[in-house]
Amino acid sequence: MRLIATGYRRIKIELYRRGFEVNHKVVYELMKIDNLLCIKKQFVPKTTDSEHNLPQSILI
């Protein structure tokens, strides 16, 4: 079974094809135990540097 870069939904379908009756929560927990879940990037808000040394544009 080749499971490179597959999520829990595809794994659930593959297990169902192989005869295992499992729901998505069980597959998700098994993937979490085996450290197969993707690592989510932490949200970093974009901010404006108001202390820059560039000329400011005139807004009309």
Domain boundaries along the sequence of the chain = 1-39
pLDDT at 4: 62
Cα torsion 8, 13, 19, 23: sign: positive
- Cα separation, 3 vs 11, whole angstroms: 7
pLDDT of residue 47: 79
Res 16: pLDDT: 93
Ramachandran bin of 35, using left for φ above 0, alpha for ψ from -120 to 50, beta for the remaining angles? left
Rounded Cα gap, residues 50 and 22, in angstroms: 54
The pLDDT, as a whole number, for residue 56 is: 76
Q: What is the pLDDT of residues 1-57, one digit of tens each?
A: 555 667 888 889 999 999 999 999 999 998 889 888 887 788 888 877 777 787 877
Whole-model pTM above 0.75?
Answer: no
**What's the pLDDT score for residue 1?**
54
